[in-house]
Amino acid sequence: MANAKPAGKSLLEMGLTANAGMVDADPQILGICVDSRKTNAGDLFVAMCGVNGHGGEFIQYALRMDAAAVLTDAAGLEIAKRNVAKLDVPFIISDDPRLDLAHAAARFYAKQPATMTAVTGTNGKTSVANFTRQIWENLGKQATNFGTAGVEGAYTAPLSHTTPEPVTLHKLLAELSDAGITHASMEASSHGLDQRRLDGVYLTAAGFTNFTQDHLDYHETFEAYFDAKAGLFTRVLPPEGSAVINMDDPRGVDIKSLAEARGQDVITIGSNDCDITILNSRFDATGQDVRFSWRGDVRTVRLSLIGGFQAQNVMMAAGLVIASGEQAKDVFDTLAEMRTVSGRMELAATRQNGAPVFVDYAHTPDAVETALRAMRPHIMGRLIVVLGAGGDRDTSKRKLMGAAAAENADVVFVTDDNPRSEDPASIREMVMQGCPDANNVGDRAQAILRGIDALQPGDALLIAGKGHETGQTIGNDVLPFNDVEQASVAVAALDGMGA
């Protein structure tokens, strides 16, 4: 792996000016750190106000580790003054330390793939980012995508956040650049946007998929959640960038106005009178044929993907690639090559009687409804679903997820999905409030086995919520668990190993 750690930089080179402490000093900054427990000598320590407390409390410890400078806000400075006798390093006091951190990290690492896109929206970010990378690859580019499933494509690495925090993000971008990656597509989570994690990235284009309920535990109101997402267009994407917008979502029109007000070019996607218009679709057991137009020019493509929403995601990826400079015809010529994104409507196993088992990452009410409704035209028989809801996450979505399952599937199994610190039975009870007739089977492997056992010829099973995940988080333990593997094991157990 390339060593992306740059030589030291002065505060000035990082765009920072000291306005407290030793204001005349401009030390060489050797690294940037947001956690006092990981601070090294020579680091810029960034003390931010967080969910659990103010990072200002930890300035005293960072200084003991010989941090060379501190970036914080007025409250952080007051806390430091209380805890430290003499502030003998430069302090940068900012109204928005997270924003300054993002730009400082960009200047510190100072490299990124030249062509970069980001996508936001409640659902579809990972899928769009992955399809964008696949299109670039098919056009012969050195490309990666990164987000919930880590870094994928010509460069791979694990990630702990969907949108990495600025230091991790810009270190990664420098590594990608050093490894010869010229094109990268990333996910912009609402947490990441709210916390300014990607404000230092130079984007050529940005996409908006949709806006429905999730993460109200963090954002509290729908408007705050929407504003966080809108920040991708009002703050991060520069005026010379292009916005690619799903107009079938009711909030697409709002994003379009915001993008136009900023002077950005707009490419619209939708089923009516858009730049890319999905005119018609024909679904079968293995995929779909899509008839669409690009600025009036009609084409068809065969996609080996299950679910009409996946065609929307593919078209959004095509829009992002076109917006980033590729010829539309070349882009559309690659679409038949799109492969399933891991854990997104992925065919995990097929029973001897022909009934398929799909694994999907639907973990919001809208995604559960969308995924189940999207499967209907592909199947002839009943639709069975296994789902749960995560612990330590938006509790108000649980009942709604249960209701979406009851309304759109014929048989429902409610099970566990990363209960984390919560009591798993209580989470299932909250889901069951939306689907009182469902089967309540806590053990996920057991629920999958029972769902698969229920499959008759022509039926299909959707195992929702964990997608590509490889663990079940119970308390602080992460037990190995993979829905795709469990589906194969269950089919083999029921139909015989040779099945």
Ligand X SMILES: Nc1ncnc2c1ncn2[C@@H]1O[C@H](COP(=O)(O)OP(=O)(O)OP(=O)(O)O)[C@@H](O)[C@H]1O
Task: Give the nearer residue to ligand API in terms of CB position, either 145 or 418.
Answer: 418
Residue 465, contacted partner among ligand X, ligand API, Mg ion, none, CB below 5-8 A by kind: ligand API
* Binding stretches for ligand X (CB under 6 A): 121, 123-127, 148, 162, 187, 209-210, 309, 312-313, 344, 360-362, 366-367, 370-371, 467
Q: Exposure of 469 by Cβ count < 10 A (0-12 exposed, 13-18 middle, 19+ buried)? A: buried
User: From residue 400, how far is each of 171, 367, 396, 404 by CA, in Å?
Assistant: 39, 11, 7, 6
Partners of 31 in the β-ladder: 43
Determine if residue 263 is left, alpha or beta; phi over 0 gives left, psi from -120 to 50 gives alpha, anything else beta.
left
Residue 379: count of CB within 10 angstroms of its CB = 17
3 lines the binding site for ligand UAG (CB under 6 A): no
For residue 418, say whether it is annotated as part of any ligand binding site. Answer: yes
19 is in an annotated binding site: no
> Is there binding between residue 466 and ligand API (CB under 6 A)?
yes
What is the maximum alpha-carbon separation in the chain? Answer: 77
Smallest separation (angstroms) from ligand UAG to the CB of 165: 3
Q: How far is the CB of 219 from ligand UAG (least distance, A)?
A: 10
User: How far is it, in rounded angstroms, from Cα 105 to Cα 18?
Assistant: 16
Q: Which of residues 142-171 bind Mg ion (CB under 5 A)?
A: 147-148
Q: Map the footprint of ligand API across residues 128-157, applying CB under 6 A.
A: 148
Q: Annotated binding residue at 351?
A: no
Site for ligand UAG in 14-53 (CB under 6 A): 34-37, 48, 50-53
Question: Is 465 flagged in the annotation as binding?
Answer: yes
313 is in an annotated binding site: no
Binding mask 383-402 for ligand API (x = CB under 6 A): -------x--x---------
For the CB of residue 283, give the shortest distance to ligand API in the complex, in Å. Answer: 27
Residue 73 contact, options ligand X, ligand API, ligand UAG, none, Cβ 5-8 Å cut-off depending on partner type: none
386: which 2 tokens?
Answer: 């296994």
363 lies in the site for ligand API, by CB under 6 A: yes
Region of 1-9, 80-88, 185-193, 353-361 interacting with ligand UAG (CB under 6 A): 185-193
* Residue 76 labeled ligand binder: no
* Partner in contact with 194, chosen from ligand X, ligand API, ligand UAG, none, beta carbon below 5 to 8 Å by kind: none
State yes or no: residue 209 binds ligand API (CB under 6 A): no
d(CA 309, CA 375) in angstroms, rounded, equals 10
126 binds, among ligand UAG, ligand API, Mg ion, none (CB under 5 to 8 A by kind): Mg ion
Q: Which does 262 bind (CB under 5 to 8 A by kind): ligand API, ligand UAG, Mg ion, none?
A: none
Q: Is 162 annotated as a binding residue?
A: yes
Please work out, in degrees rounded to the nearest 5, the angle formed at the alpha carbon of residue 224 by the alpha carbons of 396 and 169.
Answer: 100
- 469 belongs to an annotated ligand binding site: yes
- Please, which residue, 132 or 418, has the CB nearer to ligand API? 418
* 253 in Cβ contact with 260 (< 8 Å): no
196 lies in the binding site for ligand API (CB under 6 A)? no
For binding to Mg ion (CB under 5 A), which residues are involved?
125-126, 147-148
Q: Footprint of ligand UAG on this chain (CB under 6 A)?
A: 34-37, 48, 50-53, 55, 58, 161-163, 165, 189, 191-192, 195, 218
Return residues touching ligand API (CB under 6 A): 148, 162, 363, 390, 393, 417-418, 465-466, 469
Please enumerate, by residue number, every residue annotated as part of a binding site: 36, 121-127, 162-163, 189, 195, 197, 393, 417-420, 465, 469
